[in-house]
Structure 1
């Protein structure tokens, strides 16, 4: 998978992350949205507004690196992806109900 160069960093789009993880379309976006407040823009991810980055977004659509329906683009750095996965796993663990205590029988 070819990383997308942006701001001197190798990044991956949410489409690329879905493909990398063999996940349905939108999975990486939903995980990103849950973790976004704990990620640092400019370090963990880049948000590229459509009106400012139209040419890049159009070229990435044409190359198939992002979804054709993408309006504003989110690109994750390697550290951002790793942090997002760690946060997502921690969130899943905290939502798992505790195991039932062993029976006293």
Structure 2
């Protein structure tokens, strides 16, 4: 159950990061509210997962999901560049997440 909460927390991290971008510096109230709500729920799920998962593992997985997920959202929804170096960086992060999970 802790792993499911951790994945959900990571996905919500992607959601609040995307809504923060759409808030245009917190000038758009609906996106600002979505950012704050997503952040609070993401942190709550992370904290709950950390009750049974090691800090290093939980935090690394959470930030990794957020980083790679935000990269993918940027590619598909914001038209950010998919350069070979950026893709390689995302692949390396994913490899690190897999290794962290296997090491737990």
TM-score when scaled to structure 1? 0.27
User: Which one has a larger percent strand, Structure 1 or Structure 2?
Assistant: 1
Query: Between Structure 1 and Structure 2, which shows a larger proportion of helix residues?
Result: 2
Q: Which has the larger Rg? A: 1
TM-score normalised by L of structure 2: 0.28
